[in-house]
Structure 1
Amino acid sequence: MNPYIGHDSQLYGIEEHRLVGGKGDGMRLLEVNNGKGLELTVSPDRCADISRLRYRGINMSYFSPCGYAAPAFYDRTGSNWLKTFTAGFLTTCGLQAVGSPCVDEGEELPLHGTIANTPSDQVYWIEEDGYLVIRAVIRDEALFARKYRLDREIRVSLTENEFVIRDVIENTGDAVQPLEVLYHMNMGYPLLDEDSIVEILSDEVAARDEHAAEDLENWMKMIKPEAGYVERCYYHKFEKEGKASIYQPKIGQGLEISFDQEVLDCFVEWKMMGVRDYVLGLECGNCYPDGRDVMREKGMLKFLEPGEKVKYEVTVRML
């Protein structure tokens, strides 16, 4: 017990808020402050994703033009996912599909799946062993269809400026199901600009398409916002250690993302240098965003047996 304070929230803690007005009306937000400069906002009504990330009062993530949008506004048709893509620091893509809309074995699949627009059934937080811990349960289940349960834990350190995302995904149905996951993490201004130093410690880099291949030698170089910019995606392979970072010398801050490259074996760099659409995605996952049909054709599609669980963990450390 600290004799100098009346309540722990003078120094650190988690507060629950609700949005009023606009497309985000009624959405719950968990405002997390570790007391050492790290602040993040968790959205229980959007898969317990992380909508904002700040370090020492400076924004680190990208917030899209559509802003906060409640799940009720989600339209799963084609690429209409983009109309409610808040982005934020983390948007989880999956679980039945990631990437381009497609038809796979007769199932029509929307852009990036539906999990990011699914509210948590349960959410609570505790202080535990030097961490602020948020736990949430998100169910991606339907009648006559796939049945997945996502148990998410976000552990925010009270001693270091870092946090860990731990996910356990279980096939709660009675049939083998394909599983695609992408941790769509989005860097934004002022962390991101033309002077940002981007390091991805991969052993192999490949362009997603011919457009990206035209500028492959500059995959790590950021530019000023450019009108009419067309996104470029690069696929990275890691042999030993999954790690990527971005550092902004003008503010003396950055962040590092680390993950197990054996289970999250597909890393995407999404380079989008447009006007207001200015974002760098550093995205680890178990698939590439080319559509589930393409992953199946390439023999890269992952599956879960009934009752089977898979665990993923991503660590984000401030620099």
Structure 2
Amino acid sequence: MEQSKYYGHPSQLYGVTEYRLMGGKSDGMHMLHVKNGKGLEFTVSADRCADISELSLDGKNLSYTSVGGVTAPAYYTEGHDGFGFLKSFNCGFLTTCGLHNIGTPNVVDGTPYGLHGTIGNIPAEHVRWEITDEAIILKAEVHDEIIFGSKLALIRTITVSLNENKLEIHDEIKNTGSKEEGIMCLYHMNIGYPLLSESALLAVNSDKVVPRDDRAAEDLDTWSQMIPPVPNFAEQCYYHIFEGNTGCAKVYNPEINKGLQITFDTEVFPQMTQWKMMGERDYVLGLEPTTNTLEGRKTIEEQGKLKTVAPGSSRDIYIQVSFYDNQVDWETGK
């Protein structure tokens, strides 16, 4: 069937709508709303690393939006303790963290590095998109560069299929300077209500699960079990270690018959951080492919585990997300 005979404009079924927000801390932000005509819809925040904020399937929300809401990058501050990141942390479906630090704030050779770095608060440049017969393709560039210092660029491509509910994120991290640069990356992918509830099922194909601290160790045996929101819940983080070539983490909630699966290359991301935060209003499950654990750049450098990029070279990162509306397909990963 030739669908085009049935509508006047493709946006009736699929496409990209660009707009700017008004009012409050989101005033003036450049956003792109994407829908693929198969039930998948999401919003790309061009002013924040071209990350993905809201995401839904068949009208059911799958992502988490923090109490701060959508916040312009101008409100970002590292803070005196290095935790200022949290004040403007929208979460959304994807917040990119790095490129110079992930995890604990620390100081290296007199240079302070705050929680999760600054890349997620840098506006993207050259934001554009095209629609082919098979997909919607969005492209953007994020330049994390400073005079007399480190020069890194993140070239992002988000591809969403028009034939099935799948999207792929391809990031090329380029060293545009003249000296070798250390890089750290964490893809903060956040699941929220109603996909996330005490009925949600979580499966990860990891070979080992390691609690980050004593608090996480308290419930190591129930890391995969979700619970109802708890007042003043203290977060728990687990490192998932993989021996195979492909990491896979997936969530399904039979109450809404919706689910998703995140896959990634374990050569790039040898571990995934699971952020289990079951607090009232702070109710979120983070599934976070990451280059390193969360002890901060200083510790990772001292351990000799910091990944580097030579001048003029780049590293490629691929993450695929598949979406499901029935449990059988989710379980089999079709």
For residue 56 of structure 2, the aligned residue among 54, 57, 68 is: 54
For residue 104 of structure 2, the aligned residue among 87, 100, 107 is: 100
**Partner residue, 1:297:** 302
2:232 is paired with a residue whose SS is: coil
Query: Which residue identity does 1:10 align to in structure 2?
Result: Q
Q: Indicate whether 1:306 and 2:308 are aligned.
A: no
2:224 is paired with a residue whose SS is: coil
Residue 46 of structure 1 deviates from its aligned partner by: 0.3
Residue 121 of structure 1 deviates from its aligned partner by: 1.6
Segments of 5+ residues of structure 2 without an aligned counterpart are 325-334
**Partner residue, 1:13:** 15
**Partner residue, 1:31:** 33
**Residue deviations 1:86-121, cap 9 Å, x none?**
000000000111111111232210110000000012
Q: Indicate whether 1:91 and 2:95 are aligned.
A: yes
**Residue deviations 1:271-310, cap 9 Å, x none?**
0000100000000021122211121222221111111100
For residue 258 of structure 2, the aligned residue among 253, 264, 277 is: 253
**Partner residue, 2:66:** 64
**Partner residue, 1:263:** 268
**Residue deviations 1:56-83, cap 9 Å, x none?**
0000000000001111111022101100
Give me the CA root mean square deviation.
0.9
1:112 is paired with a residue whose SS is: coil
Q: Indicate whether 1:176 and 2:191 are aligned.
A: no
**Residue deviations 1:118-145, cap 9 Å, x none?**
0012100001350100000110001111
Aligned length: 319
Distance 1:315 1:226 in 2: 32
Query: Which residue identity does 1:39 align to in structure 2?
Result: E
Distance 2:171 2:133 in 1: 19
Q: Once superposed, which parts of structure 1, at least 4 consecutive aligned residues long, lie more than 4 Å away?
A: none
Query: Which residue identity does 2:279 align to in structure 1?
Result: G
1:23 is paired with a residue whose SS is: helix
Distance 2:26 2:88 in 1: 10
**Partner residue, 1:318:** 323
Segments of 5+ residues of structure 1 without an aligned counterpart are none
Q: What percentage of aligned pairs have identical amino acids?
A: 49
Q: Indicate whether 1:162 and 2:166 are aligned.
A: yes
1:3 is paired with a residue whose SS is: helix
For residue 209 of structure 1, the aligned residue among 195, 209, 213 is: 213
**Partner residue, 2:328:** none
Distance 2:283 2:260 in 1: 18
2:182 is paired with a residue whose SS is: strand
Q: Indicate whether 1:280 and 2:285 are aligned.
A: yes
Distance 1:224 1:218 in 2: 14
Distance 2:292 2:109 in 1: 18
